[in-house]
Structure 1
């Protein structure tokens, strides 16, 4: 307990000195408003482009804020340039997740569908990008495949 108290005192003194010198201690980077949390890039089984297989390939995003985000105009892209753009009426609640599945289906509150008939995410390596409605990069995640996993957590 005494060590913790001493460390706290030293940290406070360093922060005070940094402020006095005009050089504050670096702040921890804030999480992006919409964060990529998982990319399932290699759907189970043979890649035969069945809708079931296409929908087992997906990217999951998390709203890290305490407010809902209107995703209209936001996009998800891969390194090749395949792009999914969220349409009207897609609002992601605070601290909620949404999954963008590659294949076809009916959009809901927790999953939307790219409606593609081909895979998006490369099985060996790729990069995912999330951009807001103004085109600004919000988050990205790169991966190189490992033989022990078909997905990456970002």
Structure 2
């Protein structure tokens, strides 16, 4: 009888160990995935000045006072090469060779200027954003929509010069 009990005890112990190993494998896999992608890279449109202050006189100074902020809220830098920022009418700016540092913002100006770490320029000679209503759409290099920011009309404007999230 004791030999029978030791076989049962060994099989039960083996089953318990196997079950524990299986649970441990799933738990390790889930925690490893969370460590590799903690909330995924999060890039968003964090603000916009779509109505350049003062008269819209078309000068480069006025054009560059029209901008959209793109913010990386994650702990890792994100390569924005090939990402696009577009208006409803199809006007599109494409990021070229730009890496957005962790927890930082880049301001995308409409006019002509010299790109830097925190400012890039669309090099346009006309306004990119409609003052009354428009939607800025940020897409990644695979053309997947990452974020949108809308203002005016039915979209729930959050104040003059700054867009409201859709």
TM-score interval (norm. to shorter): 0.7 to 0.9
1:7-50 CA-to-partner distances (Å, cap 9, x unmatched) read xxxxxxxxxxxxxxxxxxxxxxx697210111101111111110
Aligned to 1:122: 130
Structure holding more strand per residue: 1
The verdict on how the C-alpha distance between 1:110 and 1:51 changes in structure 2, with shifts beyond 3 A counting, is: same
Alpha-carbon shift at residue 100 of structure 1 (Å): 0.3
**2:160 counterpart (145, 149, 153):** 149
1:88-129 CA distance string (max 9 Å, x none): 2x1111110000000000000000000000001101000010
Normalised by the size of structure 1, how large is the TM-score? Answer: 0.75
> How many residues align structurally?
124
* Structure of greater relative contact order (alpha carbons < 8 Å, 6+ residues apart): 1
Task: Report the structure, 1 or 2, having the larger helix content.
Answer: 2
Q: Which runs of 4+ in 1 moved over 6 A?
A: none
Distance 2:40 2:91 in 1: 25
The unaligned stretches of length 5 or more in structure 2 are 1-38
Aligned partners of 1:153 and 1:40: how far apart in 2?
11
